């Protein structure tokens, strides 16, 4: 019986070692997932920037056309001012110039602002494209590295699993399945008595039970957390 308890302790430490390898695998996968997530975000941003750039270019073309029309009209009105033959005509031309001058000025400002926006968006797009090209390269490298790391971890896990199966085969079948069922829910399937209670869940253990556990006479499971009690001295 004591020998079986020793086997169980060894099994538990192999199980924890396998869990550590499993955690490392998750960490490796997380690295790749994070990089992919960043790339997707930048890709989305790049697409938004590109479509905004197209919109602004269209808007700029329209504003430039309008600016050309209005400044032609302004030039014409100014020229005609020199050729007026009546007071009435002069007033009409003056009014035209008065209205057209601020209109042309505001269109010029508008065109200038749009050109600046195009410049900064183009810069942002170039940066995005460079980032995506560079990070694609590192993603490939890291993915390869991670693949190797994961295959090492899987090898270690399968070695541990083989050793565990060998140890399990020396235990009664009902105990094997019981321990495996506990492991489905908990990382640790074994417990000991500490200050007259289960060290994991704190359920109190009476004298008789403690005596049975200490003498390693039988398999005793904690009725609260379900773990198997091992004598403290083992």
SS3 228: strand
Choose the stretch contacting Zn ion; rule: CB under 5 A; options: 3-11, 41-49, 103-111, 222-230.
222-230
Query: Which C-beta is closer to Zn ion: that of 91 or that of 181?
Result: 181
Residues 6+ apart with CB under 8 A from 197: 203, 204, 205
User: Closest approach of Cβ 191 to Zn ion, in Å?
Assistant: 5
How many Å apart are CA 57 and CA 122, to the nearest integer?
Answer: 11
- Shortest separation between residue 215's beta carbon and Zn ion, angstroms: 20
The answer to whether residue 196 forms part of the interface with Zn ion (CB under 5 A) is: no
- 225 belongs to the binding site for Zn ion (CB under 5 A): yes
State in angstroms the smallest separation of the CB of 141 from Zn ion. Answer: 47
Taking the C-alpha atoms of residue 18 and residue 21, their distance in angstroms, rounded to an integer, is: 5
Residue 222 touches Zn ion, criterion: CB under 5 A:
yes
Q: Closest CB to Zn ion among 201 and 234?
A: 201
Beta carbon nearer to Zn ion, 216 or 225: 225
Kind plus residue range of the DSSP H or E element containing 194 = strand 193-194
Q: Which stretch binds Zn ion (CB under 5 A): 45-53, 147-155, 190-198, 205-213?
A: 190-198
Question: Between β-strands 228-229 and 190-191, what pairing exists: parallel, antiparallel or unpaired?
Answer: parallel
Based on the shown chain and the rule CB under 5 A, indicate whether residue 205 belongs to the binding site for Zn ion: no
Instruction: State the minimum distance, in angstroms, from the CB of residue 130 to Zn ion.
Output: 57
DSSP 227: P
| 7-15, 132-140, 147-155, 192-200 -> range binding Zn ion (CB under 5 A) | 192-200
Q: What is the DSSP string of 131-192?
A: HHHHHHHHHHHHHHHHHHHHHHHHHHHHHHHHHHHHHHTTS-HHHHHHHHHHHHH-S--EE-
Q: In the complex with Zn ion, which residue's Cβ is closer, 12 or 70? A: 12
How many residues of this chain bind Zn ion (CB under 5 A)? 7
Asked if 204 interacts with Zn ion (CB under 5 A), we say no
Residue 213 in the binding site for Zn ion (CB under 5 A):
no
**Longest Cα pair distance anywhere in the chain, in angstroms?**
127
- Told to check if 198 binds Zn ion by CB under 5 A, we report yes
For strand 197-198 and strand 193-194, is the pairing parallel, antiparallel, or unpaired? antiparallel
Cβ contacts of 60 within 8 Å, gap of 6 or more: 111, 114, 115, 118
Question: Structure tokens of 3?
Answer: 């020998």
Among 1, 136, 201, 232, binds Zn ion (CB under 5 A): 201
Question: Looking at beta carbons only, is 107 or 222 nearer to Zn ion?
Answer: 222
Binding segment toward Zn ion, per CB under 5 A, in 70-78, 93-101, 156-164, 218-226:
218-226
């Amino acid at each position: 019986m004591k020998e079986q308890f020793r086997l169980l302790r060894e099994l538990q430490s192999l199980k924890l070692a396998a869990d550590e390898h499993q955690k490392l695998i998750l960490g490796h996968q997380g690295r790749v997932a994070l990089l992919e997530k960043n790339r997707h975000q930048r890709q989305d941003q790049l697409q938004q920037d590109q479509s905004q750039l197209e919109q602004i270019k269209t808007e700029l073309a329209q504003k430039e056309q309008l600016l050309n029309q209005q400044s032609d009209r302004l030039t014409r009105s100014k020229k005609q001012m020199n050729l007026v033959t009546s007071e009435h005509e002069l007033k009409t031309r003056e009014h035209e110039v008065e209205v057209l001058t601020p209109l042309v000025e505001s269109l010029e400002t508008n065109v200038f602002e749009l050109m600046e926006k195009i410049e900064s968006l183009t810069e942002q797009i170039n940066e995005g494209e460079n980032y995506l090209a560079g990070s694609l390269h590192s993603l490939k490298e890291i993915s390869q590295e991670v693949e190797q790391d994961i295959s090492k971890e899987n090898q270690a896990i399968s070695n541990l699993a083989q050793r565990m199966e060998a140890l399990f085969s020396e235990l009664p079948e009902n105990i094997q399945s019981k321990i495996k069922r506990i492991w489905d829910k908990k990382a640790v399937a074994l417990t000991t008595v500490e200050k007259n209670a289960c060290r994991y869940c704190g359920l109190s253990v009476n004298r008789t039970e403690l005596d049975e556990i200490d003498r390693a006479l039988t398999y005793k499971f904690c009725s609260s957390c379900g773990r198997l009690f091992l004598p403290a001295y083992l």
